[in-house]
Amino acid sequence: MTTTTHILGYPRIGEKRELKFAQEKYWRGEIDQTELKKVGAHLRQQNWQVQKEAGLSYATAGDFAWYDHVLTTTLLLGHVPKRHRHGFPDLDTLFRVGRGQSQSACGCHGAAASDMTKWFNTNYHYIVPEFSRDDTFEVSWPQLFEEVNEAIQAGHNVKPVLLGPLSYLYLGKEVEEGFERLTLLPRLLSAYQAILAKLAKQGVTWVQIDEPILALELEKPWLDAFKLAYQVIRSEVKVLLTTYFDAVTDCLERVVALDVDGLHIDLAAAPEQLDEVLALLPAHWVLSVGVVNGRNVWRSDLAAQYQRLLPVKAQLGERLWVASSCSLLHSPVDLDLEPALNEEVRSWLAFAKQKVSEVVLLGRALDGNEDAIAQCAVYSQPIQARKSASHVHKPQVQARVNAISPAFAKRSAPYAQRAAHQAEVLKLPLLPTTTIGSFPQTAEIRVQRSAYRAGQLSQAEYTQALKEHIADAVKRQEALDLDVLVHGEAERNDMVEYFAENLAGFQTTQFGWVQSYGSRCVKPAIVVADIEREQPITVEWSKYAQSLTSKQMKGMLTGPVTILCWTFPREDISRKAIAQQLALALRDEVTDLQQAGINIIQIDEPAIREGLPLKKRDHQAYLDWAVESFRIAAGSAKPETQIHTHMCYSEFNEIIESVAALDADVITIETSRSNMELLKAFEEFNYPNEIGPGVYDIHSPNIPTEEWIVDLIQKAAQKIPLERLWVNPDCGLKTRSWPETEAALANLVAAAKTLRKSLTEV
């Protein structure tokens, strides 16, 4: 009774971000498409070989993406937005949809990128499909079939992965009024029939069809559509219906009635669903159990998983499959690339490559292999020992958390009083201009940071170099005549990792990269122990920047919820407990910043929306402690200290009350890609405080014109009173170059001045 082992996907970026660097070379015109595709082919071969050598039953194909897997599906289906259709779709088409297209690039009118948003409650992003009533779907992008053929030719037993038709529709949006995108399902299913038929001709026996929306609380029409969809696309290829990120028990009776051959469930996110699924599992289905957590870096307790699954193996026999909980694209690639890690910490961790081996080892143990059973027991010992480690559980931190009272989460005065104090102290004009915090991380900055870490620059030399970059950023901002300046964050490698490096309780890595979107990768730190601030983190940098200018300097902090969401959290305490520890540490930083003369402090919370649980019934409990954590961090601010926060790529409608409950004096948000649509939530709710709707998309190389920005501000002014509007980009400028940054900001400042003048003349 051999146990089938597989994973739902593998990181596509390469051990050292080879894909990122190749993509960016291609975009700069330094390599051609042939060279770029060679890099992709090499990475796929590496990934399949890792899976084969570990002993997985299947190698997963179709998980590779040049930008994101939803956009790959868009191209597969021939579903390219009309503004980007220039002949038969190719790789450049894909990049245009994801990144936008400037007028100079095509010799025609520029075309905006499609919206980008978070993939469920992860920090991965996808390009949102756009739907119109006359859309058609036709298999016209051969990537999936080429990759399946590559894997077969290389001798692998292939299981392709495909985003399911209902999830693809659900995760998109209508771009014209008067129709429901679900009405496109029959046309879409014809394309899926053709896809499965082509896979069958290639010799594929199983296909993994991802329908992650089944973990949501779906509306009835969407749930009803599943039965028809899977009847229509039924083919000779067996279908493993795949769900993840939460339980499917809400709709389980409908799921088990579908015309498929097996079900994958995420037991890392929702272990409680196993018994109910087993009770209703059809007799001919396989059950794939995702017990190795694909979203975290902690070593699996294989001994405990073995004991848990032994009776399931006895019940199902060969119908039991063992797998990762979700795609491993959310994990760093290889722990073996981290030789500098403390041996104890290393013994607690497993990255994607190690998780593949965990799946295989657990499968062998369940098959009765005595060596594997013994290895599982040994493998679990470090995780078991960690539960009682005194350097993990710190009494002084726990005592401070236990002392939190409601007073910690209250500012010393209500917003109206604070606004009056701030107007007197800050003396800002109508429509004040600012940026979100970061400025271009130039090649010079990166070289100096690498030299410092390699010991080639002393602390004093590195500090002086950073001061020169800060002085340069301040000088450029003054030349642009921005109203509220920032120091530019030259000292920060990443908005979360920087704080992790300066707070006790975190472990950082050298190559622990994961993809965020496109070529953008992040390197999440790992929460390994109770968190505390041992000394000020940002104060000296902000204080130095303020000394260079008479304008207001904004201090920049990353909020507790975002640090939590964008790191790998502990699994032995609650997310709420981690957020509270972070909030107390940041509260101390706020206190020190204002004592150093910084009158504006931004506490970024771009991740607060993505932290929502998938089930709406669980939202309020999360939002309560998330809001409380932010308010604890900001709670030490005096009335005259203006607290800003920033959020990006979020749908605010369902959490607008909680956004208001943060009680930030100013909130800046992404609205440029949505053409100010996201402001509807703030208008309908009558958001009481100040707001800065982003007026240009920093993720696109397009430079917005002054007229474009004026138009966006005027649209915003129809929803938010002018006296409460700020003018700013939609996100930080770290990834942009200085020439395009200055060109865009010059237009931004000019637009604000134009509107101020026109209002004065009226």
Residue 90 annotated in ligand binding: no
Helix (H, G, I), strand (E, B) or coil at 453: helix
Residue 520 annotated in ligand binding: yes
Residue in 6, 79, 125, 699 annotated catalytic: 699
Residue 566 annotated in ligand binding: yes
Handedness of CA 551, 552, 558, 562 (dihedral sign): negative
Residue 20 annotated in ligand binding: yes
Residue 18 annotated in ligand binding: yes
Query: Nearest to residue 540, comparing CAs of 593, 498, 461?
Result: 593
Could you please report the per-residue DSSP string of 576-623? HHHHHHHHHHHHHHHHHHHHTT--EEEEE-TTTTTTS-SSGGGHHHHH
Alpha-carbon gap, residue 477 to 482, rounded angstroms: 6
Beta bridge partners of 209: 162, 241
Residue 648 annotated in ligand binding: yes
Phi and psi torsions of 111, nearest 5°: -135, 130
Residue 321 annotated in ligand binding: no
Residue 19 annotated in ligand binding: yes
Query: Nearest to residue 373, comparing CAs of 298, 290, 288, 305?
Result: 305
Residue 467 annotated in ligand binding: no
Residue 355 annotated in ligand binding: no
Alpha-carbon gap, residue 289 to 323, rounded angstroms: 6
Residue 358 annotated in ligand binding: no
Q: Residues 485, 520: contact at Cβ < 8 Å?
A: no
Residue 152 annotated in ligand binding: no
Residue 254 annotated in ligand binding: no
Give the tokens for residue 711: 């138009």
Residue 390 annotated in ligand binding: no
- Sorted by sequence, the CB contacts under 8 Å of residue 648 that are 6+ apart come out as 606, 669, 670, 694, 730, 731
Residue 731 annotated in ligand binding: yes
Does the active-site annotation cover 699? yes
Residue 318 annotated in ligand binding: no
Could you please report the per-residue DSSP string of 305-317? HHHHHHHHHHHHG
Residue 655 annotated in ligand binding: no
Give the tokens for residue 374: 């013994």
User: Residue type for 682, please?
Assistant: F
The distance in angstroms from the start CA to the end CA of the chain is: 82
Strand 125-127 to 116-118 pairing: antiparallel
Q: Within 10 A of 171 (CB to CB), how many other CB atoms are there?
A: 18
Q: Residues 663, 696: contact at Cβ < 8 Å?
A: no
Q: What is the set of active-site residues?
A: 699
- The binding site for L-homocysteine consists of 436-438, 489, 604
- The binding site for 5-methyltetrahydropteroyltri-L-glutamate consists of 17-20, 118, 123, 520-521, 566, 610
- The binding site consists of 17-20, 118, 123, 436-438, 489, 520-521, 566, 604, 610, 646, 648, 670, 731
- The binding site for L-methionine consists of 436-438, 489, 604
- The binding site for Zn(2+) consists of 646, 648, 670, 731
